[in-house]
Amino acid sequence: MKIEFGSYLDLSDEQIKQYFEGCDGFVFAAGVDERIEGPPPIYDMFKKYNITPLERLLRIAKESGVKHVAICGSYFSYFAKIWPEKDLCRWHPYIRSRIDKENMAMSFADENFDVAVLELPYIFGTQKGRKRQCGCL
């Protein structure tokens, strides 16, 4: 496996197509979470970094012949689904953005393009100025 560092936010569509060339699948495990602060309305930041870039990547992946996608989602989505009476999307913009992201991603799925969203618990990266969290499942 060859590892290259860069930001998909800064790459052109053509550059991303080159990365997808010959790939059968890809995993999306990027974005911002509820620990990141931003200006109101905060949903706009979640959309900018979590939904819009993934929509672009899914479009390019599908055009490039990628067949399988796994998206690292959030356990918050799971809770929003099993506790509909709590209306979590109404009260928490981050949770709403996760559900919106999942719905957008699943809209790309068809018989030639598999999309899976994993609702994973307790996966945290580092955040400047904050103590590292447990990354255990």
Comparing 22 with 121, which gets the higher pLDDT?
A: 22
Confidence of residue 43 (pLDDT cuts 50, 70, 90): very high
Position 77 in a domain? yes
Torsion on CA atoms 108, 110, 112, 118, rounded to nearest 10: 60
Position 35 in a domain? no
Instruction: Find the radius of gyration of the CA atoms of the chain.
Output: 16
| pLDDT of 38 higher than 70 | yes
pLDDT tens digits, 45-103: 999 999 999 999 999 999 999 999 999 998 999 999 999 999 999 999 999 999 999 99
User: d(Cα 38, Cα 133) in Å, to the nearest integer?
Assistant: 21
Position 31 in a domain? no
Position 19 in a domain? no
pLDDT at residue 137, rounded to an integer: 42
The answer to whether the beta carbons of residues 102 and 109 sit under 8 Å apart is: no
User: d(Cα 42, Cα 34) in Å, to the nearest integer?
Assistant: 10
Position 95 in a domain? yes
pLDDT at residue 135, rounded to an integer: 47
Helix (H, G, I), strand (E, B) or coil at 87: coil
pLDDT at residue 132, rounded to an integer: 54
Domain that holds residue 76: 44-120
| pLDDT of 24 higher than 50 | yes
Position 24 in a domain? no
User: Read out DSSP for 26-78?
Assistant: EEE-----TTS--PSSHHHHHIIIIIHHHHHHHHHHHHTT--EEEEE--HHHH
Position 17 in a domain? no
pTM score over 0.95: no
